Amino acid sequence: MRTASPPVAVGGGPATLAGGITPRLRWMAAWGWQPALLLAWILLGTPIFGGSDVYPLLVLAGIYGIAVVGVSILAGLGGQITLGHAVFMAMGAYASALSTTRWGLSPVVGILLGITAALTLALLTSPILRLRGWYLAMATIAISFMLQEVIVNLKTFTGGNNGIFGIPPLSVGGLEVTGEPAYFALAWSIVLILLLLGRNITHSRFGRSLTAINKDADSAASVGINPARAKAVLWLVACVPAALAGSVFAHYSLFIAPSDFAFSTSLLLFAAVIVGGERSIFGGLFMVAALVAMSAYVTETFTIDLMEAVAMIVVYLLSPHGLAGIGRALIGRLCGTGRSHA
């Protein structure tokens, strides 16, 4: 049974219209725990897991996590199914790799070039956002496979299937980022910043207009929201974190190949967001860490793709709002408010 709930964090936002005894404290309880937990993870992840088999995967999860924030806003908040988001990671990775290995540019310039390349690709592909639902999903898959072909075929430029070797580590003005702990801290810190920025988007005029388009496009248009324009802006915004993730990936792994940005990577990003919960960036981050970490225990029969599939089915049977929905339902039951989602 749903009943009236206290005026706290209504609709998932820091709405404190009615005030209350300590609105700020309530806001902290409702919204401060996610960044706090992430900060604790950044500080304690290395001491706890450093040196273990799973640690390199936790670094990798942080890098994918950067891209997940973009996918979460695009697919979770805006409802635009993207099964090709790894193409933007490829843009960042190849721009960084080529800039540092071929053109003698600094990694920072490489990152900026990567973001520019991703934005250009997003602008060129933005007409596909006219498509809805599964048609859009198919189009993003098509772009994913097309770019894969292009990278493989431009052998002299991209190294084809062999990829690009000898990428130097990330460095900013003489300060070099080397070793797994450094990349762990860097990647998850970027994730933390993006989580905060992403949540700011969610609870804003732009974010609400995305929810409106996602839930009822005709109704949204009736109040003056231009769905085509909002979706195009969203597409551009969502590609930037992925490009950044690609650049960090290139500098971390020191070697990139087209297969790093294949369809399975796009699927991982999307599955994390959907299983994590459509309106929860944090849920997506948790899921990507869980899915990537699980691949340490992959066997020939129990593969990562199988785990993704099982996670999707199990979580969806429990709640249509994903992991975040299950969490909220549990908290609701414990607090006795009976609110199934907020």
Partner 1 sequence: MLETRSLTVEFGGVAALSDVTFSVETGSVVGLIGPNGAGKSTFIGVASGAVLPSQGSVTWHGTELAGKRPDQIARLGVGRTFQHTRLFPGLSALENVMIGGHLAGQSGVFGAMFRTPRWRKDEALLRDAAVEALEAVHGLHLAHRLSEDLPAGQQRLVAVARALVGHPSLLFLDEPAAGLTDAERELLGEDLKRYFAEHDLTVLLVEHNLGFLMSLVSSIVVFDRGGVLAQGAPAQIRSDPAVIEAYLGAGHAAS
Residues that bind partner 1 (CB under 8 A): 2, 4-5, 7, 10-13, 15, 17-18, 197, 200-201, 204-209, 211-212, 215-216, 218-227, 233, 237, 279, 339, 341-342
Shortest Cβ 14–partner 1 spacing (Å): 10
Shortest Cβ 213–partner 1 spacing (Å): 9
Nearer to partner 1, 210 or 288 (CB): 210
Nearer to partner 1, 4 or 21 (CB): 4
Shortest Cβ 277–partner 1 spacing (Å): 11
Shortest Cβ 178–partner 1 spacing (Å): 31
Residue 108: both structure tokens together:
């920072």
CA dist., res. 74 & res. 136, Å (int): 12
Nearer to partner 1, 3 or 156 (CB): 3
Nearer to partner 1, 11 or 50 (CB): 11
Shortest Cβ 198–partner 1 spacing (Å): 8
Shortest Cβ 227–partner 1 spacing (Å): 7
CA dihedral 229, 230, 232, 238 (to 10 degrees): 170
Nearer to partner 1, 35 or 169 (CB): 35
Nearer to partner 1, 98 or 201 (CB): 201
CA dist 83 → 28, 96, 175, 272, 319 (Å): 34, 23, 36, 12, 22
Nearer to partner 1, 29 or 298 (CB): 29
Nearer to partner 1, 161 or 219 (CB): 219
Shortest Cβ 201–partner 1 spacing (Å): 5
Nearer to partner 1, 9 or 311 (CB): 9
Shortest Cβ 36–partner 1 spacing (Å): 19
Q: Over the chain, what HEC string results?
A: CCCCCCCCCHHHCCCCCCCCCCHHHHHHHHHHHHHHHHHHHHHHHHHHHCCCCCHHHHHHHHHHHHHHHHHHHHHHHCCCCCCCCHHHHHHHHHHHHHHHHCCCCCHHHHHHHHHHHHHHHHHHHHHHHHCCHHHHHHHHHHHHHHHHHHHHHCHHHHCHHHCECCCCCEEECCEEECCHHHHHHHHHHHHHHHHHHHHHHHCCHHHHHHHHHHHCHHHHHHCCCCHHHHHHHHHHHHHHHHHHHHHHHHHHHCCECHHHHCHHHHHHHHHHHHHHCCCCHHHHHHHHHHHHHHHHHCCCCCCHHHHHHHHHHHHHHHCCCHHHHHHHHHHHHHHCCCCCCC
Shortest Cβ 188–partner 1 spacing (Å): 19
Amino acid code (one letter) for 169: P
